[in-house]
Amino acid sequence: MGCRERAAKGELLRTVVIEGVCVPDPRGTLPGRGASVHPTLVCLDLAVRRRAFPRAFKVPGPLDTARLRQYVEQTEQQ
Ligand SMILES: [Zn+2]
Protein backbone atom coordinates (compact mmCIF):
# COMPACT_ATOMS: atom_id res chain seq x y z
CA MET A 1 0.00 0.00 0.00
CA GLY A 2 2.82 2.41 0.86
CA CYS A 3 5.62 2.16 -1.67
CA ARG A 4 3.47 0.04 -4.00
CA GLU A 5 6.44 -2.22 -4.72
CA ARG A 6 5.45 -5.79 -5.37
CA ALA A 7 6.65 -8.34 -2.83
CA ALA A 8 6.07 -11.95 -1.92
CA LYS A 9 3.14 -12.37 0.44
CA GLY A 10 5.41 -13.55 3.22
CA GLU A 11 7.39 -10.30 3.11
CA LEU A 12 4.36 -8.14 3.72
CA LEU A 13 2.67 -7.35 7.00
CA ARG A 14 -1.09 -7.78 7.03
CA THR A 15 -3.09 -5.18 8.92
CA VAL A 16 -6.75 -4.93 9.82
CA VAL A 17 -8.86 -2.15 11.32
CA ILE A 18 -10.57 -2.63 14.67
CA GLU A 19 -12.74 0.31 15.82
CA GLY A 20 -10.76 2.88 13.87
CA VAL A 21 -7.35 1.50 14.90
CA CYS A 22 -4.99 -0.19 12.43
CA VAL A 23 -3.54 -3.27 14.11
CA PRO A 24 -0.80 -5.58 12.83
CA ASP A 25 -1.90 -9.11 11.94
CA PRO A 26 1.39 -10.90 11.27
CA ARG A 27 -0.19 -14.35 11.41
CA GLY A 28 -3.08 -13.37 9.16
CA THR A 29 -5.66 -14.71 11.57
CA LEU A 30 -7.72 -11.61 12.40
CA PRO A 31 -11.17 -11.38 10.76
CA GLY A 32 -12.26 -8.67 8.38
CA ARG A 33 -10.77 -6.86 5.44
CA GLY A 34 -6.99 -6.83 5.41
CA ALA A 35 -4.39 -4.65 3.74
CA SER A 36 -0.67 -5.26 3.39
CA VAL A 37 2.38 -3.07 3.85
CA HIS A 38 6.09 -3.73 4.01
CA PRO A 39 7.05 -3.96 7.69
CA THR A 40 9.20 -0.81 7.38
CA LEU A 41 8.67 2.74 8.65
CA VAL A 42 9.37 4.07 5.15
CA CYS A 43 6.53 2.09 3.64
CA LEU A 44 4.23 2.81 6.56
CA ASP A 45 4.89 6.57 6.36
CA LEU A 46 4.19 6.54 2.65
CA ALA A 47 0.92 4.69 3.17
CA VAL A 48 -0.16 7.14 5.89
CA ARG A 49 0.83 10.16 3.78
CA ARG A 50 -1.14 8.78 0.84
CA ARG A 51 -4.14 8.09 3.07
CA ALA A 52 -3.89 4.57 1.73
CA PHE A 53 -5.29 2.93 4.87
CA PRO A 54 -8.78 4.50 4.84
CA ARG A 55 -8.98 3.83 1.11
CA ALA A 56 -7.91 0.20 1.46
CA PHE A 57 -10.35 -0.41 4.30
CA LYS A 58 -13.10 1.67 2.68
CA VAL A 59 -13.64 3.66 5.86
CA PRO A 60 -13.55 7.40 6.43
CA GLY A 61 -10.08 8.41 7.64
CA PRO A 62 -7.81 9.19 9.22
CA LEU A 63 -7.15 5.93 11.07
CA ASP A 64 -5.04 5.50 14.17
CA THR A 65 -1.76 3.83 13.11
CA ALA A 66 0.15 4.16 16.40
CA ARG A 67 -0.03 0.45 17.25
CA LEU A 68 1.07 -0.50 13.75
CA ARG A 69 3.99 1.94 13.94
CA GLN A 70 5.07 0.51 17.28
CA TYR A 71 5.01 -3.01 15.85
CA VAL A 72 7.01 -1.98 12.78
CA GLU A 73 9.57 -0.12 14.91
CA GLN A 74 10.09 -3.24 17.02
CA THR A 75 10.33 -5.44 13.91
CA GLU A 76 12.90 -3.12 12.31
CA GLN A 77 15.07 -3.21 15.43
CA GLN A 78 15.33 -7.02 15.37
ZN1 LIG B 1 6.16 -1.04 0.63
Beta-bridged to residue 34, according to DSSP, are 16
Rounded to whole angstroms, the Cα distance separating 14 from 29 reads 9
Per-residue pLDDT tens over the stretch 9-47 = 678 999 999 989 999 999 889 988 899 999 999 999 999
Selection from 16, 30, 31 nearest residue 67 by Cα: 16
Domain boundaries in the chain? 9-77
What is the 60 CA–ligand 1 centroid distance (Å)?
Answer: 22
User: Which residues have CB less than 5 Å away from ligand 1 (the ion)?
Assistant: 2-3, 38, 43
> pTM (2 decimals)?
0.82
